Amino acid sequence: MALKLSCLHCGQVNRVPQDRLSAGPKCGTCGAALLPGKPMALDFATLEKAARTDELPLLVDFWAPWCGPCRMMAPEFEKAAAMLQGTARLAKIDTQSHPDATVRFNIQGIPAFILFRDGRERARLTGARPAGQLADWTRSHIATS
């Protein structure tokens, strides 16, 4: 079975056989890694496309550079990305640079995390957390969706 994954660099939708997810798949258009193992910064258009299209869970951190808890959360989010490698992709969107994302996804406070899968929001969490807790939360919602 092949999964649809949007390239977080160029936005192109790729089909990746599920048994090849651990082989470091690359975008057929731009050659970027589809599962880089670290959070990727997104713009609003790429976020909307990936949230709507991707069949592998996508965990998005809504943050802003002026937010102290967001800056403290950044290294924990990096660790969570490594813990969730192959299970989910992690991405970040700067709500100061992309205020449309804040409105579109009804973000009330940051840092905020939304887990998307198969074109739908599956779960939402607000506030800074340790990487292990964020990874466990993500896995529990992937298992139930």
Cα distance between residue 115 and residue 58, in whole Å: 6
Indicate which residue of 10, 27, 30, 70 is catalytic: 70
Q: How would you class 144 by CB atoms within 10 Å of its CB: exposed for 0-12, middle for 13-18, buried for 19 or more?
A: exposed
Q: Tell me, yes or no, if 10 is annotated catalytic.
A: no
- Measured distance CA(27)–CA(42) in Å, rounded: 16
Catalytic positions: 67, 70
